[in-house]
A and B are shown apart, each in its own frame.
Chain A
Amino acid sequence: MSDFKSKEALVVYEQARPILTHEKSLSRKIASGSEAGDILDQQMAILGIQLVTQLNVLIKTSYIYDRTNAALDKPVDTMLTLIKTLAHDQPVTLRLQNDFLFLGDSHLKVTAQQMAVATSIINTLNAWKIGGVTFSLAAGSKDLREFAALFVSLDPHTKTIGDLRDEITAREITGIELEEPRQLDVQERFGTEGNTGPNGTKDANLKLQRKMKVKNGYANVAGSVGAITQASREGGTVSFKQAKRAIQNIVDLMMDDEATVLGLTTLRCHDEYTHNHSVNVSLLSIALANRAGYPKAELADLGLAALFHDLGKSTIPIEVLNKPGEFTDEDWVVMRNHPTEGVLSLSKLRGITNLPGRMAAASFEHHMNLDFSGYPKLTVPWTVSLTGRILTIADCYDAMTSSRVYRREPMSPSKVLNMMFSKSGKAFDPVLLKLFVNCVGIIPIGSLVMLETSELAVVLKPATDKTTAERPFVRVITDPQGNPVDQGREIDLTEKDESGDFHHSIIRLIDNTEYKFDTSRYFV
């Protein structure tokens, strides 16, 4: 080996080294690979950058040495350990999109010091028009060496990503896959809102776009809470950052169009595998807190806290959660522990000094009730926080209207509100409960009603004026004979004719749960 080569290899290796040595605890976690359950956002970012760095070291070293050379041992071993850590539950993808690096779907923040290494990888991926490289546990030492050697032996000017893939197959490289680049015109998706059509279709388009945004927002939140709950249950890696961004988006949408967002809360939770309940509670909490006067940033804090109010359930076996039939006494004991388990899990995941107080309160107090009639029972004086009181209302409302949570048959939204009002000042904070009713409406969003025309309709949003609270906005879903109508008209029930009489009125509230009819289909 020439001096030049050894020096260059040393430089490459030295570039890679400091990132991990600064994080001794993380090094230990990486060393133990499978014990990656408590790796958090910051640590994920470090691991991601380390993956970028080691990949760069591997490729650069391959330019100097043959694939079997011992000089490759160290970067290959480190890469394998990183892959073992990051991909221990599912394959991990290092992605490049519009110059930005991602680990999975999380943006990798690159510091000025790390940029030289990142640039090298970005340039390599760009040269080959590679959108991402996915590593799975199947990747071994030989695969990594062969993979790195491809970048040396093939020229991106004369070969394509397809040729690279063919070579991967030909050389029987396993556990490494290449992704095409994902491109998107920013203006197309984010810059323009609503195209003006010839027949005044602008409004309709705008509405449709907004609805699409709300749906995507809901799905993102559900996805992130699902990922974290799953990770918490299985000891995978945990990223709160995605959830935070998703909630920030929801707060924006809520401020823009509360009714459309709340409409999605009609998507009840029917199964503990889905996370609609957590998302709904978050959305309802944000709406209620917004009316209570929370500033924007605090709303997001509360929304994030609400999203993880049931994280303690991740300690309960899924067979118990989705057990058919009634819970046994033992099952109930386990269930009643989930607020406390949640606090302990969250404290462990985020660290005592890093856990937001609202997040702890949301988990600990959401079943406590204002009069402490709920659980956990405490032997010391305690004050239920504002977050806890908001969560109690939002959680109870969504749980009672859902079919599986707490083993109950679902109740119609209006029945649930009636029941809750019977406990105002006892289980529930009376002022917050009033605000909540103003928020979802006396005839709540998602309620099924019969109009005086014998048409059936679904409540879309509450009336704007509290004196006409019984006259919400509705969408007609059947004709007078009960035949479903497509894209039924939306009616403001407060509208009057020339003589001062209302155009339309509700003559009957219908308990949709009695007919097992889910109204969420009109909101999704």
Chain B
Amino acid sequence: MDEPKTDGGALPIAPAKEPANPELASVKRLLALLDKTAKSSRTYGSTNPVAQKFFQQLFEGLTAHLATYSKLAFLVQRSELYFNGEAVYQSDQESSNESVAFKLYSDGIRELTFLEGLPAEDLSYLLDSLWGSLDPNEDDDDIVTRLWSKNLSTITMVTAEEIAKASTGEDVFALPTAETMKAPESSLRDLLDREQTKARKEKSLEADGSNPLGEKPAGGGAGRFKSGQVGYEISAEELASLVKEIEAESKRDNTIYLLDMLTAILASEKSPAILSKLFGLWEAALDSLSAQGKWTALDSVLGLLHAAAEVRPDLGDENKKQLTALLDNLARPERMKMIEIYLNKTPNAPTEGLPTVLLSLTPAAVPVLCTLLANLETPSHQAIIAEVLETLAKDQPDPLLRGLSDRRPRYVKNLLTILLKWNNPQFVDAIEKLVRYPDVQVRREVVRAIGIYRPNGNGIKLVAFLNDTEESVRLAALKLLVTGQYKAPYAAWSPLVSADTFIARPHSEKRAMFLAMRATSGDEAIPFFEGLFTEWSWTNRKKREELATLAAEALGKLPSSAALTALELGQKKGSATVRQACTSAIALAQRQQQLKQAAS
């Protein structure tokens, strides 16, 4: 067999020359294979064909080795494995998690031995325990326990703790010196005499039938002891039923079971001192459940605590106080932080029960819920909190309004969504302050909010959005302004339409702006439009003609006598293009007039 190569990481120690000891050579080859198997398994997963090929090679090599030498024992050090006193495996980095030696060392395994007859599944289980699926949240999960619980007959280990205990040399086992059972062995002679006397007496009583108490002698008098009992037969059904119970017990949700137990104690316990401890424990339970995202359990506990006063009207004053404090402090910031950490850490974890839990809080929890909403990272989680706030904060909106000044756009947007759902115009002033909020989505939401809360009236705030850097925001504001529901003096428009940059805006936007200006300022804007018809310029002639054309269209669409006068002026004094546009606009205005008259 060729010497296998490894590509870095943990390495079996390469001999300077082929060792004379064939067993040692075999061990080193196996460790090289183990390293390859581990590496491929970590990289591609243990079910990958490459990983499986290496595993198969390792298994076959190990089986052959064990068939020859019957066992293979390694002594574990920080970064090395020793075989028969010689280092046969060493990792480049002492503490690499990829090193077999370090993995074993870290879990406190001092010696690992493979024995002949090792099945493939046991080897696979060992490797999985080393590299795979240990649950870091599970206190009881470690390599030692895993290997032990599997009862592997061909893989044995000795832990460092076992060695430490065995090496103390202390005699920890001593007979108790009990006063009540102190009779020495020398008393056995007397004991035997007395028992023999008793036996004779019992026999004679039995013979003349004069046992006054009808007592049976202790086991048949002086004859052979006979109780008439045999060992007990346990039927297959009885055993099967037990096995079912064991399985059910193992699968049981321990937390729910424990909560049931605490509930039973809460319902039944009389001692105020124990109840006091119990309430302390409920507090801890709420924390644990919050920190671990067990929302349905948390919901049941809250339901129980809310009902506790009714179920136990006999609670003492102190216990009642504890219960009240428990319920009052449900939303304490530390607990909310636990919820936040859990949700951010596990974005895909189920949230069933969470809304109910949060809805059971009082409006006093609104500020901490706002903090939670601000700090959550996943939109689905934010949506849950937003829904809860929509209900709880309706009468206490101040924390939400204060939150509008927060620099986190996602949070502000969520707050705006809640405020919009409430549809309360009194919030519009606070919302309008966000005109210059850095985030475009927030600004768009603000425009939407203004449209909802101020469907008509003063449009100056909307006009302010027309200088927004984001086109979509400007268009959203224009969409509202062109409806004709808003009023804004020409003075508000003038800086926009007179600016040099106005001409550079997209055609559609300019068109919409003229329509909006005409709709909100009425005839006040006509002098500006007239100016466009008659103005002459050597530069930007085409652009200016474009503006005049758009102005004509705006006046034609919203005609008035002043507008018609302005158009007639344009018809006379404008350039050819302008004249044509003014003529079309007048025709349009007249058609509208006729239609109106016909309709009336």
Contacts and interface: CB of A to CB of B under 8 A. Distances in A.
Interface stretch (B53-61, B238-246, B413-421): B238-246
B511 interface: no
A251 B173 CA distance: 19
Interface stretch (A5-13, A145-153, A160-168, A373-381): A373-381
Contact of B288 (A252, A351, A382, A432): A351
Interface stretch (A169-177, A339-347, A392-400): A339-347
Contacts of B168: 182
B271 A337 contact: yes
A449 interface: yes
B531 to A, nearest CB: 69
A406 interface: no
Given A100-B110, A482-B192, A410 B180 contact: yes
Interface stretch (B255-263, B372-380, B381-389, B439-447): B255-263
B540 interface: no
A293 B77 contact: no
Given A109-B106, A216-B173, A410-B180, A293 B264 contact: no
Interface residues of B, number: 106
Contacts of B179: 270
Nearest to B271: A337
Given A379-B268, A481-B189, A507-B219, A186 B163 contact: yes
B196 interface: yes
Contact of A352 (B97, B233, B255, B269): B255
Interface stretch (A73-81, A82-90, A228-236, A509-517): A509-517
Given A267-B176, A515-B183, A456 B188 contact: yes
Contacts of A216: 165-166, 172-173
B6 interface: no
A505 B224 contact: yes
A353 B254 CA distance: 7
Interface in A232-271: 242, 244-245, 248-249, 252, 267-271
B89 interface: no
B16 interface: no
A482 B148 contact: no
Greatest chain B CB density within 10 A among A269, A337, A340, A387 is at A340
A380 B264 CA distance: 6
Given A119-B94, A267-B175, A189 B186 contact: no
Interface string B174-188: 011011111101111
A98 interface: yes
A477 interface: yes
Interface string A339-379: 01101100110011111111011001000000000001111
B488 to A, nearest CB: 56
Given A97-B164, A386-B245, A344 B192 contact: no
Contacts of B185: 477, 484, 521
A358 B176 contact: no
Interface of B: 73, 75, 77-78, 94-97, 102, 105-108, 110-111, 139-140, 144-145, 148-149, 151, 158-168, 172-173, 175-176, 178-183, 185-196, 199, 218-220, 222-227, 229-234, 238-239, 241-243, 245-246, 249-250, 252, 254-255, 257-259, 261-265, 267-269, 271, 274, 277-278, 280-281, 284-285, 288-289, 292, 294
Given A404-B180, A450-B199, A518-B183, 9 more contacts: A98-B160, A98-B163, A107-B160, A269-B176, A376-B268, A380-B263, A386-B245, A454-B196, A478-B189
Interface of A: 41-42, 95, 97-100, 102, 105-107, 109-116, 119, 122, 182-184, 186, 189-191, 215-216, 218-220, 222-223, 242, 244-245, 248-249, 252, 267-271, 274, 276, 292-298, 300, 333, 337, 340-341, 343-344, 347-348, 351-358, 360-361, 364, 376-380, 382, 385-387, 403-404, 409-410, 431-432, 434-435, 437-438, 442, 449-450, 452, 454, 456, 462-463, 465-467, 469-470, 477-478, 481-484, 505-511, 513, 515-518, 520-521, 524
26 contacts: A97-B164, A98-B160, A102-B160, A112-B97, A122-B78, A191-B73, A215-B173, A216-B165, A242-B161, A270-B180, A270-B181, A274-B176, A296-B151, A341-B277, A364-B261, A382-B264, A386-B246, A387-B249, A410-B181, A442-B231, A506-B224, A507-B199, A508-B222, A509-B218, A510-B191, A515-B183
